Amino acid sequence: MTSLTKKAIRDSFLKLLNLRPVSQITIKDIVEDCGINRNSFYYHYQDLPSMIEEIILEEVNEIIRNHPSIESMEECLDVAISFAMENRRAALHLYNSPKRDLFEQYLWRVCEYTVSTYINTAFAQYPMKEGDRDILIRYYKWICFGAILDWLNEGMKGDVQKAFYRMGQLKKGMLEEVIRRSSQESGAESREA
């Protein structure tokens, strides 16, 4: 029963967040929307900010659970923006709220997970110069995260996926070339040792 109540609270908050900014949502609004009393809310959450933080953390963990593998950089972006695409107004309200830092941390963590999963899976068989894999993951994480922030800063106008996919087409083969070069340098260093 308690997990159902917690889910009802979460669902009510997201429903309200899709309608109005965080600053205009109260605990009273949430409990009235889901038909519980305030004590039930406080049984599950200390306050509104702790509830928001937990919901964001749960979203990250759910994405990680649901995406054990990533097949492309385009999929990295798709996974990272999945919450925002399903809850456009809620995502903008979170992004433009005092909890923006939590939302950005969520995006950063999801971008890091998706990019590292993709690189470590798709290019696992390639030996790379020590440290290059980490540099590559950081670089592509920055690209993914930056594209999403730019899109959010523009009010989610435009088609971030279309632009990201097109850039992927223009850069086709560049990632593989970077990995090839790192592999060659790694091999050359091994032969010299």
Distance CA 25, CA 49 (A): 11
CATH fold of 1-45 reads: Arc Repressor Mutant, subunit A (1.10.10)
If you average pLDDT over residues 63-74, what whole number do you get? 92
Handedness of CA 2, 18, 78, 153 (dihedral sign): negative
The pLDDT value recorded for residue 189 is 56
The answer, yes or no, to whether residue 165 has pLDDT greater than 90, is yes
Q: What's the pTM?
A: 0.85
Instruction: Give per-residue pLDDT as tens, 111-164.
Output: 999 999 999 988 888 888 889 999 999 999 999 999 999 999 999 999 999 999
Instruction: Give per-residue pLDDT as tens, 107-119.
Output: 999 999 999 999 9
Q: Which residue intervals of the chain bear CATH 1.10.10.60?
A: 1-45
The pLDDT value recorded for residue 67 is 93
Residue 6, CB-side half-sphere exposure with 13 Å CA sphere? 12
